[in-house]
Amino acid sequence: MKIAIEFYASLMKYLPPGGKRFRRDLKVDDGLQLQPLIDQYNISAEEAHIVLVNGHFVALENRADRVLVENDVVSIWPPVAGG
Amino acid sequence: MSWTRKILRVNLTKGSCTSEALNMDWAKEYLGQRGLASKYLTEEVDPKCDPLSAENKMIMATGPLTGTMASTAGRYSVITKGPLTGAIACSNSGGYFGAELKFAGWDMIIFEGKSDKPVYLNIQDDKAELCDGSHIWGKSAWETDDILHATYQDPQMRIACIGRTAEAGCLYAGVINDKHRAAGRSGVGTVMASKNLKAVTVRGTQGIGNIDNADSFFESTDAGKAVLAENAVTGQGLPAFGTQVLMNVINGVGGLPAHNMRDVGFAGAENISAEAMAEPRKSDGKPNLTTNAACFGCTIACGRISTIDKTHFSVKDKPQYHGASGGLEYEAAWALGADTGIDDLDALTYVNFLCNEDGFDPITFGSTVAAAMEMFEDGAITTEDTGGIELKFGSVEAFVAVTELLVTGEGFGKDLGLGSKRLCEKYGRPELSMTVKGQEFPAYDPRGIQGIGLNYATSNRGACHLRGYTIASEILGIPVKTEQTDTDGKPELVKAFQDATAVVDSAGLCIFTTFAWGMDNIAPQIDAACEGDWSVDNCLEVGERIWNMERLFNQAAGFTANDDKLHKRLLEEAIKSGPTEGQVNRLGEMLPKYYEIRGWSPEGEPTAETRQRLSL
């Protein structure tokens, strides 16, 4: 299935080749869960501080069980702040 | 002690400068800067006075830690009754001016009365004098800074001044120091202009020599710096990406207002984000972001220094804007960009330069233009009003044109200088002003993020994120994540943030330390520097006292619970799409509980018991 992954701020270095700015479309196996996807990029739990699926925050403890579906957009930030 | 225990009182009517002792009883109850200066203001100024009359006073105040070796301890604030809101105003700025004022031996300067001709105040340590300012009246803040530096031939002299916008009567003009740091909100610069005071120059050589317990201070400030350095936000994220890293985050979670808050979510957000600022541009291969920058004593260094593409239409024939200067912060990028529908990074950087050059608040300005754009598209404002400018959402050329008009108050620029509340009233559409107590909202939509809505509604200086930055918890997970669309627990969260922020603002520290520091990091630094009890509990009580004192000033000025409200659009017009689709702000679920935990009556007034508990 097709999904998109977005790496922001200091995590942009993890973006696979072929991406644009901070986004890359991916083809992944049906039924892939969120945490295994993050693990593919060797990003630690500390680095993957804000993780959204389609704009909705997914807490660390829920990422292993979260099954991705077609057209999901996964967005990941390290700890950031501003104001 | 680390207060200098000295106040400079400047009577502009008489032309006198006198030194007086700081009231130490008040210092122990209100700490410094925001709290202590607000205490002086509430004691000396009639809350009902016209903010732009000689009756109003303006105070420039440092905190007890300002100028010390504590990280970020370079802050100072401008406290007055604000002309935009009629409420108590306190605008906080970094840079180097605050520390220099402390080095000259002053905790604060109280300006009273009104000069009959333009003047500036020159401070050289203990010596202070008012000087003729007629040659700098009519000059921008940047020109004023250059002229005064040339006059005194002292590059270490620090200058805070107003630009032409304040002189033209814009109600949201700020005070600019060090050319691109600003006490920006609520029109504190407009008050300065109303007193015919153009600038304050200060050079101090006395240092800070009065720390209460030096050993303990070294230890606690060192420990604090280690925490900042090791924290991912203050040690890595803010220096690399600045506050602008929020643009994609807030847009991503469905919290970015756009088009005068008509919409939530802006398709062009990524083009004006921190990530975009770091991308090489086509014309010269250089990115918008040149470097980061730090204020006095800061070990975070979040500031943005930027350049504009020299081929961009806004600066093509203006070489004075081709150098690097203060770049876009998140709030400015949102108000000037997403709220007006503009995603041209160079245009926004140019307008931001103008905000610094002539001293006006980018949040209120951008929001006021956005309101004007909505009225233009609705037909309430026409090209006859704008002088032929097609002021539509997304029109870059129109935006640049009206900004240049605002600076000098010409044509439609005079109207834009009113702020959105008065502008919308003038053109018969008061419902299109996105304000609380007359001040425009910052960059977080309270429909998609519940707690920040309660903070906006109850902020003592009108809509403001910096009075209680619940975004840290509701979106960024600092110190713990709360659900952004929940209202449960939000009154408690808002109160905790508001009280703690009042302490930070009164100490002379930067609020950004609180992304890593808790009060258990901050209180020991204050306690080591200052005589008296500055335990965590006492600090938080001081914060609560300051909040209530500000509230009582506003109450005496005529504000009531009816002013603790959000715009109808935010309470009734649900978000149309995106992750927060269907949401409105549920202020009614939070406000009664907030009053209750504050110890206020159902009418929002601090009860006699609360006043007694806080010695008010």
Beta bridge partners of A74: A5, A53
Domain boundary among B143, B174, B203: B203
Cα–Cα nearest to B30, from B73, B63, B72, B65:
B63
Between β-strands B119-124 and B197-203, what pairing exists: parallel, antiparallel or unpaired?
parallel
**What residue of B is the nearest CA neighbor of A10?**
B237
The mean of the pLDDT values for chain A is 96
Rounded to the nearest angstrom, the gap between the alpha carbon of residue B51 and the centroid of all alpha carbons in its chain is 18
Helix (H) or strand (E) run with residue B479 in it: none
Do B89 and B108 lie in one domain? The reply is yes
Tell me how far apart the alpha carbons of residues B227 and B235 are, in angstroms, rounded to a whole number.
9
**What residue of A is the nearest CA neighbor of B473?**
A81
3-state helix, strand and coil shares in percent for chain B, rounded to the nearest 5: 45, 15, 45
Amino acid symbol at B535: S
Between β-strands B16-21 and B88-93, what pairing exists: parallel, antiparallel or unpaired?
unpaired
Kindly report, residue by residue over A41-65, the tens digit of the pLDDT: 999 999 999 999 999 999 999 999 9
> Is B147 part of a structural domain of the chain?
yes
Do B41 and B71 lie in one domain? The reply is yes
Do B12 and B101 lie in one domain? The reply is yes
Answer whether residue B1 shows pLDDT above 60: no
The arithmetic mean of pLDDT across residues B559-573, rounded, is 97
Domain boundary among B387, B403, B436: B436
The mean of the pLDDT values for chain B is 97
Share of chain B above pLDDT 90, in %: 99
CB pairs under 8 A between A and B: 95
> Is B286 part of a structural domain of the chain?
yes
> Is B457 part of a structural domain of the chain?
yes
- Cβ separation of A21 and B276 shorter than 8 Å? yes
Interacting residues of A15 by C-beta distance below 8 A, sequence separation 6+: A5, A7, A22, A23, A24
* A61 inside 8 A of chain B by CB: no
* A8 inside 8 A of chain B by CB: yes
Q: What is the CATH number of the domain that holds B459?
A: 1.10.599.10
Q: How many CA atoms lie within 13 A of B612 on its CB side?
A: 3
Cα–Cα nearest to A12, from A37, A47, A63:
A47
Chain B residues in contact with A46 by the CB 8 A cut-off are 232
Do B472 and B376 lie in one domain? The reply is no
Peptide bond into B479 cis (omega under 30): yes
Cα–Cα nearest to B443, from B336, B350, B343, B360:
B336
Full-prediction pTM beyond 0.90? yes
Write down the pLDDT at residue B209: 80
Q: Which of B279, B465, B481 sits opposite A83 (nearest CB)?
A: B465
Q: Which of A22, A49, A57 sits opposite B275 (nearest CB)?
A: A22
Q: Are B581 and B71 in contact (CB under 8 A)?
A: no
Q: What is the CATH number of the domain that holds B58?
A: 3.60.9.10
Helix (H) or strand (E) run with residue B396 in it: helix B396-408
Write down the CATH number for the domain with range A2-77.
3.10.20.30
Kindly report, residue by residue over B433-448, the tens digit of the pLDDT: 999 999 999 999 999 9
**What residue of A is the nearest CA neighbor of B474?**
A57
Q: What ipTM score was computed for the predicted complex, to two decimals?
A: 0.98
Do B458 and B605 lie in one domain? The reply is yes
Do B301 and B397 lie in one domain? The reply is yes
Chain B residues in contact with A52 by the CB 8 A cut-off are 252-253, 579
Do B153 and B71 lie in one domain? The reply is yes
Tell me how far apart the alpha carbons of residues B531 and B209 are, in angstroms, rounded to a whole number.
14
Tell me how far apart the alpha carbons of residues B470 and B493 are, in angstroms, rounded to a whole number.
7
> Is B79 part of a structural domain of the chain?
yes
Write down the pLDDT at residue B2: 87
Do B341 and B403 lie in one domain? The reply is yes
Range of the domain at B13: 6-203
Kindly report, residue by residue over B373-384, the tens digit of the pLDDT: 999 999 999 999
Write down the pLDDT at residue B210: 84
Answer whether residue B111 shows pLDDT above 60: yes
Task: For chain A, give the number of residues.
Answer: 83
Q: Choose between B81 and B2: higher pLDDT.
A: B81
Q: What is the CATH number of the domain that holds B427?
A: 1.10.569.10
> Is B346 part of a structural domain of the chain?
yes
Tell me how far apart the alpha carbons of residues B308 and B326 are, in angstroms, rounded to a whole number.
11
Kindly report, residue by residue over B452-493, the tens digit of the pLDDT: 999 999 999 999 999 999 999 999 999 999 999 999 999 999
Do B572 and B492 lie in one domain? The reply is yes
Kindly report, residue by residue over B26-71, the tens digit of the pLDDT: 999 999 999 999 999 999 999 999 999 999 999 999 999 999 999 9
The arithmetic mean of pLDDT across residues B224-235, rounded, is 98
- Cβ separation of B580 and A80 shorter than 8 Å? no
Tell me how far apart the alpha carbons of residues B13 and B16 are, in angstroms, rounded to a whole number.
8
Chain B residues in contact with A50 by the CB 8 A cut-off are 249, 475-477
Answer whether residue B117 shows pLDDT above 70: yes
Tell me how far apart the alpha carbons of residues B437 and B88 are, in angstroms, rounded to a whole number.
11
Write down the pLDDT at residue A83: 82
Q: Report the number of distinct structural domains present in chain B.
A: 3
Q: Which of B245, B270, B466 sits opposite A80 (nearest CB)?
A: B245
* A46 inside 8 A of chain B by CB: yes
- Cβ separation of A8 and B331 shorter than 8 Å? no
Write down the pLDDT at residue B332: 98
> Is B357 part of a structural domain of the chain?
yes
Smallest CA–CA distance, residue A29 to chain B, in Å, is: 25
- 3-state secondary structure (DSSP) of residue A11: helix
Answer whether residue B410 shows pLDDT above 90: yes
- Cβ separation of B232 and A79 shorter than 8 Å? yes
Do B142 and B289 lie in one domain? The reply is no
- 3-state secondary structure (DSSP) of residue B440: strand
- Cβ separation of A55 and B580 shorter than 8 Å? yes
